[in-house]
Amino acid sequence: MSRTSAHSATLYGGAALAVLLAAWWLATAIPGFIPPRVLPSPWDVVARFGALFAEPFSGATLVGHAAVSLQRWGLGVLAALALGLPLGIALAWLPPLRAVVTPVFELLRYIPPFAWVPIAVLWFGASTTTQALIVFIAAFPACIINTQLAVAQVDTILVRAARTLGAGSMTTLGRVVLPVAAPTIFTGFRIAFSNGWMALVGAELVVGKQGLGFLISQGQVNDSAATILVGMTSIGLLGFLIDAVLQRVQTSALPWKPALVRPLE
């Protein structure tokens, strides 16, 4: 995307956000149109943001709840990357292994992450390990699938050329295949991170004792729509920041274009 296109996209996005906020403000400003219990005004939500930053709510401030969520998410996605990246490469590079592992993986990946919550609670209780496990289960398939497809879709001409020049299997993989596949693999990481973040919040709604999902559930218990909206907004902002950082890292670490790999939908 050119600099002009990026600037235009930013302007359009800002305008859309301004329209949304204006509509929200108007809807809550008309007396009797929407009760504050159902939808508080933007100013009430901002005020609640300030209060949650300064005062503990359900055991922690807003920053404390966010830090707990980020810790659980980080543990889960790091485990997913540590296992998904090498396994995805191996499945693409070693057909016999793919024949053994794929049927089991295909069976397990269609089980929704939240279906694992009851058994995870039985195993580990309502702990950080339980929620990190749910994040792992949500993030792992995207890591392994995108890595496998990215490696498998590298142009075979490049592989044959490397081997013709005397490169061994591991040299070809490390110096030819992975650099070409890296941008698509990184896109898989972004999907995995997003999936893990959304799954974490759902797990915290069910079994959390701290965290942004737990903050939302406690807002419901306390009949505070403003608290719920603060939690939701915090989740969205942190997710946006995580993805923005990943895009910046990808641009810096992988400046070449994935021209030799077909983009994944």
- Using alpha carbons, list the distances in angstroms from residue 227 to 34, 78, 232: 17, 30, 9
Task: For residues 248 and 265, give the distance between their C-alpha atoms in angstroms, rounded to a whole number.
Answer: 21
- Cα Rg of the chain (Å, integer): 22
Please name the residue ranges forming H helices in the chain: 3-29, 42-54, 62-93, 95-109, 117-124, 128-152, 156-164, 169-172, 178-207, 212-221, 225-253
On the CB side of 214, how many CA atoms lie within 13 Å of its CA? 23
* Dihedral pair phi/psi, residue 57, rounded to 5°: -135, 120
Q: What is the pLDDT along the chain (265 residues), one digit of tens a residue?
A: 555 565 666 777 778 888 888 887 887 777 777 777 778 888 888 899 899 988 888 888 999 999 999 999 999 999 999 999 999 898 888 888 888 888 888 888 888 888 898 888 888 888 888 899 999 999 999 999 999 888 888 877 877 787 777 777 778 777 788 888 888 888 889 999 999 998 988 888 877 788 898 899 888 888 888 899 999 999 999 999 998 898 888 888 777 654 444 444 3
pLDDT at 2: 53
What crossing angle do the helices spanning 95-109 and 62-93 adopt, rounded to 10°? 140
- Using alpha carbons, list the distances in angstroms from residue 64 to 58, 70, 102: 10, 10, 40
Q: What is the DSSP string of 187-253?
A: HHHHHHHHHHHHHHHHHHHHH-SSSHHHHHHHHHHTT-HHHHHHHHHHHHHHHHHHHHHHHHHHHHH
Of 41, 23, 45, nearest to 231 (Cα)? 45
Angle at alpha carbon of residue 183, lines to 178 and 187, rounded to 5°: 120
What is the reported pTM?
Answer: 0.82
- Using alpha carbons, list the distances in angstroms from residue 113 to 77, 89, 197, 198, 233: 14, 24, 12, 10, 23
Task: For residues 91 and 70, give the distance between their C-alpha atoms in angstroms, rounded to a whole number.
Answer: 30
- Using alpha carbons, list the distances in angstroms from residue 24 to 21, 40, 46, 48, 227: 5, 9, 13, 16, 17
Of 101, 87, 110, nearest to 185 (Cα)? 87
- Using alpha carbons, list the distances in angstroms from residue 74 to 24, 48, 141, 253: 34, 27, 16, 20
| Contact indicator for 34, 28 with CB cutoff of 8 Å | yes
Secondary structure (3-state) at 24: helix
pLDDT at 257: 56
Task: For residues 13 and 20, give the distance between their C-alpha atoms in angstroms, rounded to a whole number.
Answer: 11
